[in-house]
Structure 1
Amino acid sequence: MENAVEKTVESTYINKKNLLKFIFGSAFGVLMFLVPIPYETSFTTLLDFVKMWLQALFGGSLIYIVVTLLVVSAVLSTYDFFAKPDFIRKNRYLSKAFCTTPLYLVSKIIGAVAGVMVLTGMGPEIVVSADTGGTIIDLCGTLFCILIAFSFVLPFLTDCGIMEFLGVIARPVVRPLFHVPGRASVDLIASWFGAANAAVILTREQYMKGFYTKREAGYIMTNFSLVSVPFCLMVANTIGLDSIFPVFYLCICLIGIILAVIIVRIPPIRTIPDTYREVTGRQVAEDRPEEKGIWRFALESSCKRAGEFHLDTVLTSGLEVMMGTLFDLIPIVASWGVIALAIATYTPFFDWISYPMGLYLQLFGVEDAFAVAPATLVGFTDMFIPALLIAGTEVAVKTKFIIGVLSLVQIIYLTEVGTVVIKSEVPLGFWKLFAIFLERTLIAIPFIVLFANLIY
Structure 2
Amino acid sequence: MEKNLSYSTQSSNYRLLKFLIPSLFGLLLFIIPLPYGAMIPLEGLSPVNIGIGFLAELIKITSADYIIYIAFIVIVLSAILSILSKFIHIKNEFLNSVLNVSPFWLICRILGAIFISMTVFGFGPEVIKSEITGQTMLGILPSLLTIFLVSGFLLPLVVDFGLMDLFGTLVSKSMYKLFKVPGRSAVDAISSWLGDGTLGIMITSTQYTQGFYTAKEASIISVCFSLVSLPFSTVIADQLGFMPLFVPFYGTVCLASLACALIMPRIYPLKGFKDTTFNNVQHLKEELVPEGESIFKFSFNKALDRAETAPSLKNMLINGCKTVIDMYLGLLPLVMAWGTLALMVAEFTPFFNLISLPIVYILEFLKIPDASAAAPAILVGFADMFLPSIMVSGEGISQITQFIIGALSITQLIYLTETGAVILKSDIPLNLKDLFVIFLTRTIIALPIITIIAKLIFI
TM-score strictly above 0.5: yes
SS in 1 for 2:279: coil
SS in 1 for 2:381: helix
| Mapped contact 1:42–1:230 kept (Cα < 8 A) | no
- Is 1:45 aligned with 2:58? no
2:84 corresponds in structure 1 to 79
What do the CA deviations read for 1:17-76 (whole angstroms, capped 9, x no partner)?
Answer: 111111110110110111112347863212112112211232221111111101110111
SS in 1 for 2:48: strand
What do the CA deviations read for 1:178-229 (whole angstroms, capped 9, x no partner)?
Answer: 0000000001100111011111111111111111111111111111111111
Q: What CA distance in whole angstroms lies between the structure 2 residues aligned with 1:444 and 1:386?
A: 15
SS in 2 for 1:71: helix
| Mapped contact 1:410–1:437 kept (Cα < 8 A) | yes
Q: What CA distance in whole angstroms lies between the structure 2 residues aligned with 1:368 and 1:139?
A: 30
- Is 1:369 aligned with 2:374? no
- Is 1:28 aligned with 2:25? yes
Write out aligned runs for 1:373-388 (5 A): 373-388=375-390
2:42 corresponds in structure 1 to none
What do the CA deviations read for 1:303-345 (whole angstroms, capped 9, x no partner)?
Answer: 0110112222210111121111011011111111110111111
Report the Cα offset of residue 295 of structure 1. 1.3
Q: What CA distance in whole angstroms lies between the structure 2 residues aligned with 1:395 and 1:151?
A: 42
Go from structure 1 to structure 2 and tell me whether the alpha carbon gap of 1:383 and 1:12 turns closer, same or farther (over 3 Å shift): farther
Go from structure 1 to structure 2 and tell me whether the alpha carbon gap of 1:79 and 1:158 turns closer, same or farther (over 3 Å shift): same
Q: What CA distance in whole angstroms lies between the structure 1 residues aligned with 2:161 and 2:314?
A: 13
In the alignment, residue 172 of structure 1 is paired with which amino acid?
K
RMSD between superposed Cα atoms in Å = 1.8
Normalising by structure 2, report the TM-score: 0.93
Q: What CA distance in whole angstroms lies between the structure 1 residues aligned with 2:202 and 2:383?
A: 19
More divergent stretch after superposition (46-55 vs 186-195): 46-55
Q: What CA distance in whole angstroms lies between the structure 1 residues aligned with 2:381 and 2:373?
A: 15
1:178 corresponds in structure 2 to 179
Match 1:446 to one of 414, 429, 448: 448
More divergent stretch after superposition (110-119 vs 97-106): 97-106
| Mapped contact 2:182–2:286 kept (Cα < 8 A) | no
SS in 2 for 1:37: coil
2:335 corresponds in structure 1 to 333
SS in 1 for 2:213: coil
Q: What CA distance in whole angstroms lies between the structure 1 residues aligned with 2:264 and 2:331?
A: 27
Q: Where do 5+ consecutive residues of structure 1 fail to align?
A: 1-7
Report the Cα offset of residue 96 of structure 1. 4.0
Q: Where do 5+ consecutive residues of structure 2 fail to align?
A: 39-45
SS in 2 for 1:367: coil
2:41 corresponds in structure 1 to none
State percent identity of aligned pairs.
Answer: 37
More divergent stretch after superposition (305-314 vs 122-131): 305-314
Q: What CA distance in whole angstroms lies between the structure 2 residues aligned with 1:68 and 1:449?
A: 45
Go from structure 1 to structure 2 and tell me whether the alpha carbon gap of 1:208 and 1:349 turns closer, same or farther (over 3 Å shift): same
Go from structure 1 to structure 2 and tell me whether the alpha carbon gap of 1:297 and 1:452 turns closer, same or farther (over 3 Å shift): same
| Mapped contact 2:90–2:96 kept (Cα < 8 A) | no
Q: What CA distance in whole angstroms lies between the structure 2 residues aligned with 1:423 and 1:12?
A: 46
Go from structure 1 to structure 2 and tell me whether the alpha carbon gap of 1:125 and 1:101 turns closer, same or farther (over 3 Å shift): same
In the alignment, residue 210 of structure 2 is paired with which amino acid?
K
2:407 corresponds in structure 1 to 405
| Mapped contact 1:36–1:45 kept (Cα < 8 A) | yes
| Mapped contact 1:97–1:325 kept (Cα < 8 A) | no
2:130 corresponds in structure 1 to 129
SS in 2 for 1:21: helix
Report the Cα offset of residue 265 of structure 1. 0.4
Q: What CA distance in whole angstroms lies between the structure 2 residues aligned with 1:327 and 1:426?
A: 18
Go from structure 1 to structure 2 and tell me whether the alpha carbon gap of 1:278 and 1:164 turns closer, same or farther (over 3 Å shift): same
In the alignment, residue 84 of structure 2 is paired with which amino acid?
Y
SS in 2 for 1:60: coil
What do the CA deviations read for 1:338-385 (whole angstroms, capped 9, x no partner)?
Answer: 101111111111000001111111111111112210010000011110
Q: What CA distance in whole angstroms lies between the structure 1 residues aligned with 2:9 and 2:125?
A: 64
SS in 2 for 1:415: coil
| Mapped contact 1:207–1:217 kept (Cα < 8 A) | yes
Write out aligned runs for 1:226-305 (5 A): 226-290=227-291, 292-305=293-306
Q: What CA distance in whole angstroms lies between the structure 1 residues aligned with 2:434 and 2:232?
A: 26
Q: What CA distance in whole angstroms lies between the structure 2 residues aligned with 1:172 and 1:404?
A: 34
Q: What CA distance in whole angstroms lies between the structure 2 residues aligned with 1:182 and 1:43?
A: 26
Q: What CA distance in whole angstroms lies between the structure 1 residues aligned with 2:224 and 2:11?
A: 35
Report the Cα offset of residue 13 of structure 1. 12
Write out aligned runs for 1:147-226 (5 A): 147-226=148-227
| Mapped contact 2:168–2:286 kept (Cα < 8 A) | no
Match 1:434 to one of 436, 445, 452: 436
| Mapped contact 1:42–1:229 kept (Cα < 8 A) | no
SS in 2 for 1:344: helix
Report the Cα offset of residue 292 of structure 1. 3.3
SS in 1 for 2:65: helix
